[in-house]
Structure 1
Amino acid sequence: MDRKKTYLIDMDGVLVHGRRAIPGAVEFIQRLIDGGHRYLVLTNNSRYTPTDLQHRLQSAGFKIDPNHIYSSALAAAAFVKSQLPNGSAYVIGDTGLYQALADVGYTFTDYNPDYVILGETDSYPYDKIIRATRLISSGVPFIATNPDPSGPSEMGLEPACGAVAALIEKATGFSPYFVGKPNPLMMRTALRFLDEHSENTVMIGDRMDTDIKVGLESGLETILVLTGVTQPEMIGKFPYRPSRVVNSVAEIEP
């Protein structure tokens, strides 16, 4: 008997736009649950804790446990813990990133930190960007949660972590190490969390440059949905293709 497929599902642009569920997404998650499929909501958004994200999804009509949510903030925290336990960091980010780092024993400082870590936030104070730039220029390693230059919201596209990382890189000449998608590190961590293998796993996302790329490089089946950043005419600009393209998750039958 074939094993049931496991699903790694991007959040923004796939399940929700801001706080609104994408039509058919609530029913799709329920089909996974009813069918006994394992799944993980895998998001590059580092702003929120899993509990925060659960509440956001719940307000949109989803029934998803925090243990089914894994963010680039958690991936970044796991990474620095594996590299330098109980270290310190200068952080530009929001609650999700600070909490994830604190939970693995990291402290926060702007004086001689072990890392500069950049994540998502609703505003990027210029004085913090200047401080990060000076620390990185002095030799402090630079980590960023995700390379997404923009992300969907209820009001349309807005700048994201990757755009600010590019600004700092341009100023310093130092590239960040991106922990989130499309780094396969995040996928391996997610698969270990689920105790699953790549050949039995499907990646569903709205971005060719992160979701589909990381799924391909991790050996997963990939499904691109057209409810987020990527539009049909953009697909041909990439040298790789998703396994399937659908209008939305409403069309996916597990």
Structure 2
Amino acid sequence: MTERTIDCWLTDMDGVLIREDHALPGAAELIEQWRAAGTPFLVLTNNSIYTPRDLSARLARVGLDVPQDRLWTSALATAAFLRDQAPGGSAFVIGEAGLTTAIHEAGFVMTDVAPDFVVLGETRTYSFEAITRAIRLINGGARFIATNPDVTGPSPEGPLPATGSVAALITAATKREPYYVGKPNPMMFRSAMNKLGTHSERTGMIGDRMDTDVIAGIEAGLHTVLVLTGISTQADIQNYPFRPREILDSVADLLA
């Protein structure tokens, strides 16, 4: 497969393992293969709404047995980043349980009075009052952090505004750009490797998007695998000046 020995894997979730609440070909078998062999792996998602326990239950419903400690979200990566930046700090947080739980467990105090950071994640109930408070706190000196730059998210009724869209609103009001922790920031992958205790030279990244998964994987020094079960198509690849190391029809092609 490659001249490098790949014995640890990071994989995106939507478009790689599942799509519209259905497991994709080979996904259950690949997860079982990794678990049986004791291969270190993490399933990654930019979605900051859900806790790892929530996501583990969601995957179980479609037949994928992924323990919660094998899940790494942009919320967890953001919490790890904040803990490194200001241990025991404080934050005003806009987000759901996945983000607030992660930041709480990182030892942060959540407050709307002179916080060190304003942290923005996804939520289905963006509050005008909370956004106004965030703008005032950022103007007052709080550092602006966002879990991911995705401008829309999926729903059965169609696209919904996501973190990137609301971040743009706050930026327009404050003239402050957030620091995005999630993909395509390679920090998302580096924090995942730190959790696993592995090195980039021996780690592969499986994704379905050239503009997030592949570019971030390349920048993190990983062996990159693009699967054609999600966003990017074979034709799309020609629009980018970089290439993944491998292009596969699905994760079924990675089965031993």
Whether TM exceeds 0.5 here: the answer is yes
Q: Distance in 1 between matches of 2:253 and 2:211?
A: 22
Partner residue of 1:228 out of 230, 245, 248: 230
What are the equivalent positions in structure 2 for 1:77-92 lying under 5 Å apart? 77-92=79-94
Letter in 1 for 2:122: E
Deviations 1:124-163 (A, max 9, x none): 2232222222222332110001112234555654433222
Q: Distance in 2 between matches of 1:185 and 1:59?
A: 30
Q: How big is the shift at 1:95?
A: 0.2
Q: Secondary structure at the match of 2:206?
A: strand
Q: Do the aligned partners of residues 64 and 230 (structure 1) sit closer, same or farther apart at CA in structure 2, a change above 3 Å counting?
A: same
Q: How big is the shift at 1:71?
A: 1.2
Q: Do the aligned partners of residues 177 and 125 (structure 1) sit closer, same or farther apart at CA in structure 2, a change above 3 Å counting?
A: same
What are the equivalent positions in structure 2 for 1:111-190 lying under 5 Å apart? 111-152=113-154, 157-190=159-192
Partner residue of 1:203 out of 198, 202, 205: 205
Q: TM-score, normalised by structure 2?
A: 0.89
Q: Secondary structure at the match of 1:79?
A: helix
Letter in 2 for 1:190: A
Partner residue, 1:15: 17
Q: Distance in 1 between matches of 2:165 and 2:247?
A: 27
Partner residue of 2:112 out of 61, 85, 110: 110
Q: Do the aligned partners of residues 211 and 151 (structure 1) sit closer, same or farther apart at CA in structure 2, a change above 3 Å counting?
A: farther
Partner residue, 2:254: 252
Q: Distance in 1 between matches of 2:228 and 2:159?
A: 15
Pairwise CA RMSD: 2.1
Q: Distance in 2 between matches of 1:125 and 1:241?
A: 40
Percent of residue pairs identical: 51
Q: Distance in 2 between matches of 1:235 and 1:129?
A: 37
Q: How big is the shift at 1:92?
A: 0.9
Q: Secondary structure at the match of 1:117?
A: strand
Q: TM-score, normalised by structure 1?
A: 0.90
Contact 2:50 2:98 survives alignment (8 Å): yes
Q: Distance in 1 between matches of 2:97 and 2:168?
A: 22
Deviations 1:146-192 (A, max 9, x none): 11223455565443322222222233221111112222222222112
Contact 2:26 2:255 survives alignment (8 Å): no
Contact 1:24 1:250 survives alignment (8 Å): yes
Letter in 1 for 2:64: F
Q: Distance in 1 between matches of 2:113 and 2:185?
A: 29
Contact 1:17 1:152 survives alignment (8 Å): no
Q: How big is the shift at 1:196?
A: 1.3
Letter in 2 for 1:253: L
